[in-house]
Amino acid sequence: MRAVTWQGKRDVRVEDVPDPTIQEPTDVIIEVTSSGLCGSDLHLYETLGAFLHPGDVLGHEPMGRVVATGSAITDLRVGDRVVVPFQIACGRCWMCQHDLQTQCETTQVREHGMGAALFGYTDLYGSVPGGQAELLRVPHADYGPIKVEDGPDDDRFLFLSDVLPTAWQGVRYAGVVPGDVLVVLGLGPIGEMAARVALQQGVRVIGVDRVPARLERSRTLGVDVLELGSDLVEEVLSRTDGRGADAVLDAVGMEAHGSPVAEVAQKVASRLPDALARPLMTSASTDRLEALKTAVALVRRGGTVSLSGVYAGAADPLPMQTIFDKQLTLKMGQANVRRWLEEMLPLVQDPSDPLGLETFATHHRPLEEAPAAYAAFQAKDDDMIKTVFRP
């Protein structure tokens, strides 16, 4: 089959790789019909090369049709249309039972002290081949895949794999209620979807980014947009009776603009034990916390900072004095997809498509165009916000 493979920093290629096969009774194989390109793929493309091997298959936002089932699969049949959550969870362990599917104790990647295995996320998260491919092996398919109806376009359901639950969790973790002010940092796919969810819930949204096309698209949704570079603290205070936002959602993560990652230091540090890595990271890349520090600055006292953006690598110092003094609540983590399913489904299934899922993707591309799509998404130099591959 054809698949998008990582070959080196900023080097992905579409190659022939062996077709996946059923390996466990709880596996299914799906023929992928749509597969998202995500900001999380860019961490692998740009920053986390130390964890990858040439040939690793990328992608963690797939949907498609079941073409083979393991002997223990009873709820899925060949031909079923499914969306596959980006995390692989068993549904039975203590963590899964407590709706912390990204911490699943069965698939947890113990050697790195990380949470549940993820599709297409290298040695960091279990080395499971990803879904930017023609076929995908889905482990623990007796729990993970979400069966969806025939009829509507793939895009109506596809974002259940990652973008929508990530945005949903980010907004829920922000703890906002109707009338509250939520600042969303970063108006990429995650930030924009979080803004859509929050607006839909009657929350006032202020959005921050630097890319004109992204600011413009969010503005048309009803977001009060601010360009990075303006005096954000002043602007937010003037919109919140001088108090600050009730919550800030960071949809940027560690590769914030204005804070070049000290790549060499990070690469070296990622191979060292923490005690050795920490001094290296503190001297070289404290700015990786740019977005988080901005969030801490914009939130009101007693407010909540909700992190959807990914932070990885060795520990960085936090603005602890301010976090303590402002009595902040920080909530974060990979999104637990199935946890939010019951809340999200009515909006996804509503024929009027209140979240605008069917028009969310800006680009649909054949798999073969992945190298160009990765480069354009990384450069953020045009109107490409969300790309969906159609293998």
**Choosing among Zn ion, ligand NAD, none, which partner's interface includes residue 106 (Cβ < 5 to 8 Å by kind)?**
Zn ion
Place of tokens 């498609």: 64
Query: Which residues fall within 8 angstroms of residue 195, CB to CB, at 6 or more apart?
Result: 184, 187, 205, 207, 218, 221, 223
| Strand partners of residue 185 | 208, 250
Contact status: 90 vs Zn ion (CB under 5 A): yes
Query: Which x/- pattern, by CB under 6 A, does the window 154-183 give for ligand NAD?
Result: --------x---x-----------------
Contact status: 277 vs ligand NAD (CB under 6 A): no
Among 88, 104, 211, 225, binds Zn ion (CB under 5 A): 104
Contact status: 357 vs Zn ion (CB under 5 A): no
| Listed ranges 22-30, 171-179, 253-261, 265-273: which one lies at the site for ligand NAD (CB under 6 A) | 253-261
In the complex, minimum distance from the CB of residue 312 to ligand NAD, in angstroms, rounded to a whole number: 9
Task: Work out the burial of residue 91: count CB atoms within 10 Å of its CB; fewer than 13 is exposed, 13-18 middle, 19 or more buried.
Answer: middle
The amino acid that residue 90 corresponds to is: C
Contact status: 305 vs ligand NAD (CB under 6 A): no
Please enumerate, as own/partner, the contacts of 10-17 that have beta carbons within 8 Å and a separation of 24 or more.
10/45, 10/46, 10/374, 10/375, 10/378, 12/45, 12/58, 12/370, 12/371, 12/374, 13/371, 14/367, 14/368, 14/370, 14/371, 15/55, 17/55, 17/57, 17/129, 17/133
Contact status: 48 vs Zn ion (CB under 5 A): no
In the complex, minimum distance from the CB of residue 230 to Zn ion, in angstroms, rounded to a whole number: 29
**Which residue, 10, 95, 5, is CA-closest to 375?**
10
Residue closer to ligand NAD by CB (options 28, 249) is: 249
Contact status: 42 vs ligand NAD (CB under 6 A): yes
Contact status: 192 vs Zn ion (CB under 5 A): no
CA 114 to centroid of chain Cα atoms: 16
Residue closer to ligand NAD by CB (options 29, 310) is: 310
Place of tokens 């080395």: 127
Task: Decide if 340 contacts 169 (C-beta within 8 A).
Answer: yes
Contact status: 84 vs Zn ion (CB under 5 A): no
Contact status: 282 vs Zn ion (CB under 5 A): no
- C-alpha 192/C-alpha 179 separation (Å) is 19
Contact status: 9 vs ligand NAD (CB under 6 A): no
Given CA atoms 24, 27, 29, 34 in this order, what sign does their dihedral have?
A: negative
| Listed ranges 119-127, 251-259, 317-325, 353-361: which one lies at the site for ligand NAD (CB under 6 A) | 251-259
Contact status: 191 vs ligand NAD (CB under 6 A): yes
Contacts of ligand NAD in 56-95 (CB under 6 A): none
Residue closer to Zn ion by CB (options 112, 301) is: 112
In the complex, minimum distance from the CB of residue 91 to Zn ion, in angstroms, rounded to a whole number: 6
Residue closer to ligand NAD by CB (options 129, 207) is: 207
| Listed ranges 3-11, 36-44, 51-59, 235-243: which one lies at the site for Zn ion (CB under 5 A) | 36-44
Angle made by CA atoms 102, 103, 109, in degrees to the nearest 5: 100
| Listed ranges 23-31, 85-93, 148-156, 175-183: which one lies at the site for Zn ion (CB under 5 A) | 85-93
Query: Which residues fall within 8 angstroms of residue 370, CB to CB, at 6 or more apart?
Result: 4, 12, 14, 37, 132, 389
Contact status: 190 vs ligand NAD (CB under 6 A): yes
| Listed ranges 11-19, 198-206, 265-273, 308-316: which one lies at the site for ligand NAD (CB under 6 A) | 308-316
The size of the interface with ligand NAD (CB under 6 A), counted in residues, is 34
Contact status: 93 vs Zn ion (CB under 5 A): yes
Residues that bind ligand NAD (CB under 6 A): 38-40, 42-43, 162, 166, 185-191, 208-211, 214, 228, 251-253, 256-258, 290-291, 308-310, 334-335, 380
Q: Binding residues for Zn ion, per CB under 5 A?
A: 38, 40, 61, 89-90, 93, 96, 104, 106, 162
